[in-house]
């Protein structure tokens, strides 16, 4: 694959295989942008990126949406340096902007256990938005169904994935593709 850079080891881990290459990701993000544009023809639309994992996806998605949007961020943590969620969701930063009466689209890199999204969904609902939906780049489909998940880039395999914003111990976010970490 021409867009795969050799990254055989990172923090003692090995990249096993590319799951989604950069071209496929780009095509799907463009499709999501069109879907979101159609879904929100009116009103104020605020995209709230869940940092740090969503930042690359969010940047590309904003450029693919053909209407004005506002952007803000949330910072939550549930992984630390492990490869399995700790189960504890800590909110480190939330938007200061008023969200009342606005369409809120929470942008997530990957839906895994669903605990983080559940906690953030409840927190955002308390801010009285006009609507609340979730757009996830990847969904492993292991979490209980989350009704607010309206847009999904890919149904992901149950692997530990890195690249395109997803990390392992703060490394490998820079990869232009999504790969399985071994």
Choosing from 60, 109, 112, 139, the catalytic residue is: 112
- H-type helices in 54-178, by residue range? 55-64, 115-125
What whole-number distance in Å separates Cα of residue 8 and Cα of residue 10? 7
- H-type helices in the chain, by residue range? 22-39, 55-64, 115-125
Beta bridge partners of 20: 178
* Active-site annotation holds for 167: no
- Calculate the alpha carbon distances from 128 to 17, 119, 124, 146 in Å: 43, 15, 8, 19
Report, as residue numbers or ranges, the catalytic residues: 112
């Amino acid at each position: 694959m021409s867009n795969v850079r050799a990254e055989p080891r990172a923090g003692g881990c090995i990249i096993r295989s590319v799951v989604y290459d950069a071209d496929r990701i780009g095509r799907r993000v463009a499709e999501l942008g069109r879907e979101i544009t159609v879904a929100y023809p009116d009103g104020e639309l605020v995209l709230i990126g869940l940092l740090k994992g969503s930042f690359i996806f969010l940047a590309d998605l904003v450029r693919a949406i053909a209407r004005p949007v506002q952007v803000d961020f949330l910072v939550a943590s549930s992984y630390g340096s492990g490869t399995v969620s700790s189960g504890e969701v800590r909110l480190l930063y939330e938007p200061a902007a008023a969200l009342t009466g606005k369409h809120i689209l929470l942008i997530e890199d990957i839906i895994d256990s669903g605990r983080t999204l559940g906690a953030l969904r409840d927190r955002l609902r308390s801010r009285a938005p006009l609507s609340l939906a979730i757009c996830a780049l990847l969904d492993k489909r292991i979490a209980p169904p989350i009704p607010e998940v309206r847009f999904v880039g890919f149904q992901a395999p149950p692997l530990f994935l890195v690249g395109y914003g997803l990390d392992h111990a703060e490394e490998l976010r820079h990869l232009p593709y999504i790969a399985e970490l071994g």
